[in-house]
Structure 1
Amino acid sequence: MGTKDKLSYERLISRVEYYKEKALDLEKKLVFAEETIERLESEVNSSDSLQIIEEKERELVALRAEMKNLTNKVQKLEEHELEKRIKSYEELLSSIQEELNDKDQQIDLYQQRMKSMEKRININRTSEPVFEVANLGNADSAPRKKEEYNCMSYFDYSVIFTKERTGFVRGTFYIENTGAKPLDNPYICFRFQPAETLALKGKIISLIASPTQEEMSQSLWIYMDDNEWAEKAKERGEIWICPLRETKLKSGERISLDDFQIPIKSKIDENITVEAFVYCHKQNFRAKAVNHIAINF
């Protein structure tokens, strides 16, 4: 056997020995693995492990049931809270609707009262005074039976001045029926001279100013200022007023314009005169007040 063949044989034996050792080592590892598997299977099959698994499964079921219960409670709470909010909103909307309905009713009532007031004002007053105010000065001299229609009207007033020579007149204007028959809806004309001094304030409402219900309830008189004729009268220095409600002044009865005010400014004129005239359209009766307001600076 040559040297080369001898080396190949030894190398082959060496390799066989190496693989035998490797196979032996693998067999040992396989045996160890089988023992480990047997031990684990034994542990898994033991009663304690099964009890633990069952207990954990029961805990898991209980936790799932509790979670479902809590989810249902949360859902119910959310629904309840939503219902409460919806109910609260509905109550708020209902309250707002009631207020709106109440306001609508008040507006309707106010409009009805305004229409009624306008009707009352227009009763027996559809015609404008058919006389010139210039003739009113002599109205008391017109022939008329005193036992039928007659009245006495007059001012009760005081004048208040400031240091700046301005101030106001404050007083009451009275109308008393001194005749035998009633007088219906007396107009009052206040004539200012000069016309630029025209101003009259008090418990008198104006349809143009859209009076409130409280103002209407507290007032007995209304300005006749809602037509072209009234504007022309103002240019002449006249303010006309009439009763707010249907008024029948029986014999011996009295009606008054209480607490009127007339502002005064000395810069306008040195002398200011305010006269008053009473006119009843239905009876075609007219009369001049027995006195007047005269202011001299």
Structure 2
Amino acid sequence: MTKSSHSKKASTADIQTQQKLLYYRSELSKLRTTIDRQEKKIKEQSESIHSLITKVHEQPDQIIQPTEETIEDTALLQCDCYFSYTLVIPKQDDDEPIAMIGDFIIRNTGSTPVHDPVICIKFNHPKLANLSGKIKYGPSTLTDQYIVTDEDQQETWEFVEGTTLKEAKRTGLFSLQPVNRPSLLTNETLSFSHFEIQIPTDIDESEVIVQGYLACKEFPEGVASLNKMICNLV
């Protein structure tokens, strides 16, 4: 090998070494830049956490106490309604009808009041629809139109405006509203108490079902009762 060719090979090796050094320096510079960026970000996060901790210690009441907006956002709308009833069966040789005697109970189980409560009592056979209880039907001068007249009772009910007893018997749907209860507060209970439904024993139907609903401003579509009143005639 001549001295000239050996010199060329050495020169080529030096160039390659220089290129590798330049590459490594470039990568090292990028790595340092990334590390500096991450360290800066960590420092900023640490400062934010420290600032938040300081605010918690300086203003505990402001942090712990919920605001009115928070309370409104977490308000729960929920109502339950159900029947509590008894079937009174006449003796076998008695012509008296079967009597459903009970209460329709509404309870506000949510965390916010509900307004303008209305109960709906629906019969599966409209021709059997009848209902007596603390229901005010007309003005005091027309006492013969009352199902029950009892002005002293706090939970007296009346037909919703636009509905009548005649219509209820035709459609099988009674829609009633309390006379003196425009709203129902949290944990309050409203009851349509001591009502009675009479079921003749000589009808063709084998089963009479009465379903209850609650409707109000907050639940315009209605809430179905947790149970139904059922009388099997077979």
Structure 1 length-normalised TM = 0.46
Indicate whether 1:181 and 2:150 are aligned. Answer: no
Corresponding residue number in structure 1 for 2:185: 250
Structure 1 residue 199 displacement after superposition: 0.9
> Could you tell me whether the CA contact under 8 Å between 1:149 and 1:285 is conserved in 2?
no
Q: Match for 1:151 among 79, 87, 105?
A: 79
Q: 1:172 Cα shift?
A: 1.1
- Could you tell me how far 1:239 is from its partner in structure 2? 0.6
C-alpha displacement of 1:284? 3.1
The structure-2 alpha-carbon separation of the partners of 1:225 and 1:151, relative to structure 1 and needing over 3 Å to count, comes to closer
Change (3 A) 1:282 1:233: farther
SS at 2:152 equivalent: helix
1:281 to 217, 227, 231: 217
1:240 aligns with 2:175: yes
CA 147–218 in structure 1, closer or farther in 2 if over 3 Å, else same: same
Match of 2:232 in 1: 296
Q: Match of 2:99?
A: 168
Give the aligned residue type for 2:229: I
Task: Report the Cα offset of residue 208 of structure 1.
Answer: 5.4
Matching residue's letter, 1:270: S
Picking from 193, 196, 202, the partner of 1:267 is: 202
By how many angstroms is 1:218 displaced?
Answer: 2.3
Q: 1:234: how far off?
A: 3.9
RMSD of the alignment, in Å? 2.7
Question: What code does the residue aligned with 1:152 have?
Answer: D
Contact 2:130 2:169 in 1 (8 A): no
TM-score between the two structures when normalised by the length of structure 2: 0.57
Structure having the larger proportion of residues in helix: 1
What is the identity, as a one-letter code, of the residue corresponding to 1:192? F
1:191 and 1:274 in contact (8 A); partners too: yes
Unaligned runs of 5+ in 1: 1-144
Quote the offset at 1:238 in angstroms. 0.2
The Cα of 1:270 is off from its aligned counterpart by 2.2
Equivalent in the alignment of 1:81: none
State how many pairs are aligned. Answer: 152
CA shift, 1:147, in A, is: 4.5
Superposition pairs of residues 1-297 of structure 1, within 5 angstroms: 147-163=75-91, 164=94, 166-207=97-138, 210=142, 215-218=150-153, 220-224=155-159, 227=162, 231-268=166-203, 269-281=205-217, 284=220, 286-297=222-233
C-alpha contact (below 8 Å) 1:201/1:260 kept by paired residues: yes
Q: Counterpart amino acid of 2:199?
A: I
Contact kept, 8 Å, 1:208 with 1:226, in 2: the verdict is: no
In the TM superposition, residue 181 of structure 1 has moved relative to its aligned partner by: 1.1
CA displacement 1:79-132 (0-9 Å, x = unmatched) = xxxxxxxxxxxxxxxxxxxxxxxxxxxxxxxxxxxxxxxxxxxxxxxxxxxxxx
Tell me the amino acid that sits aligned with residue 153 of structure 1: C
